[in-house]
């Protein structure tokens, strides 16, 4: 009989420890009060919102607001004290650190994928072709094996971390034609491309879904697994940034993102957690 009871007691203890461990990250918010404002990179929004939801469900005395605006907005607003966390999809520039006294916290790997409408029969593209599309030399899909139709080019706004990564890693720092249509978030880019059969744009890989088709780029398949392994090279880190060393709710939130529960949120949002550097 002892052999029957011993495994059961071990199982109960294991389940208790697992439950305690899973609750522990949110326990740090119990007894806290206040407001935390977060703004900036739009790729971060799914992670930030899910973390905020879990925290506020645990403690209704905490209010967390999450807005986008792009990486440039994230730097400006956190630097000017308008928010406590400013998100960027790129590393901070030296002049930004010097001007505002910012601290930076990378937490996830993301890739940037070229996307087209699902009805487009083009599925692959080379770097040279992408450069020629975005500088206006290639203007018709038939030049890429598609139908005889003009290409509608979409890009992100100046200051976007997604745009900066795309220009640097995919376009090799070549310019984007001035006639390109500008959208202000990954979500807006997906909507634009999903509604325009002749469109081409780019989004963070974490935003890929059935509404758009990710293009194989220079034989590289855009997926987070490939981004993490180095098999897909149009990649970046996602950062949380604070003015000075974080404290109070800001520190608790950042610490929570680095917990196993935070890593789970990052993965479910389509990104690869980096752990605390």
Spell out the residues 6+ positions from residue 46 whose beta carbon is closer than 8 angstroms to its own: 206, 269, 270
CATH 3.40.190.10 fits 110-235, yes or no: yes
Q: Can you give the C-alpha Rg of the chain in angstroms?
A: 22
Region 205-232: mean pLDDT is 93
pLDDT at 81 over 90: yes
pLDDT digits (tens, 9 = 90+) for 9-43: 443 344 344 444 445 899 999 999 999 999 999 88
Residue 7 banded pLDDT, cuts 50, 70, 90 = very low
pLDDT of residue 261: 97
Residue ranges matching CATH 3.40.190.10 in the chain: 2-109+238-273, 110-235
- 207 pLDDT band, cuts 50/70/90, is confident
Would you say residue 47 has pLDDT above 90? yes
**Cα–Cα dist 204/190, whole Å:** 10
- What architecture (CATH level 2) is domain 2-109+238-273? 3-Layer(aba) Sandwich (3.40)
Mean pLDDT of the chain: 91
pLDDT at 84 over 60: yes
Question: What is the predicted pLDDT for the residue at 118?
Answer: 98
- Distance between CA atoms of residues 77 and 83, nearest Å: 6
Query: How many CB atoms are located within 10 Å of the residue 75 CB?
Result: 27
pTM confidence score:
0.76
Q: Are 115 and 213 in contact (CB under 8 A)?
A: yes
């Amino acid at each position: 009989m002892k052999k029957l009871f011993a495994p059961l007691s071990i199982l109960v203890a294991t389940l208790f420890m697992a439950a305690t461990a899973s609750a522990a990250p949110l326990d740090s918010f119990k007894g806290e009060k206040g407001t935390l404002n977060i703004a900036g990179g739009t790729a971060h929004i799914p992670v930030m919102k899910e973390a905020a939801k879990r925290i506020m469900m645990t403690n209704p005395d905490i209010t967390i607001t999450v807005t986008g605006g792009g990486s440039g907005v994230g730097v400006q607003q956190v630097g000017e004290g308008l928010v406590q966390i400013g998100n960027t999809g790129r590393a901070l520039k030296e002049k930004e650190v010097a001007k505002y006294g910012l601290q930076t916290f990378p937490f996830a790997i993301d890739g940037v994928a070229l996307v087209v409408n699902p009805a487009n029969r083009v599925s692959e593209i080379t770097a040279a072709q992408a450069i020629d599309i975005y500088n206006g030399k290639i203007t018709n899909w038939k030049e890429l094996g598609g139908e005889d139709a003009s290409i509608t080019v979409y890009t992100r706004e100046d200051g976007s971390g997604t745009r900066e990564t795309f220009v640097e890693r995919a376009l090799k720092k070549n310019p984007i034609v001035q006639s390109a249509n500008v959208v202000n978030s990954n979500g807006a880019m997906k909507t634009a491309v999903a509604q325009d059969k002749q469109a081409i744009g780019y989004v963070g890989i974490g935003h890929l879904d059935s509404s758009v088709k990710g293009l194989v780029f220079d034989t590289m398949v855009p997926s987070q697994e490939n981004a993490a392994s180095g098999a897909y090279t149009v990649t970046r880190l996602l950062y949380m940034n604070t003015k000075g060393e974080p404290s109070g709710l800001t520190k608790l939130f950042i610490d929570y993102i680095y917990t196993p529960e935070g890593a789970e949120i990052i993965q479910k949002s389509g990104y690869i957690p980096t752990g605390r550097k």
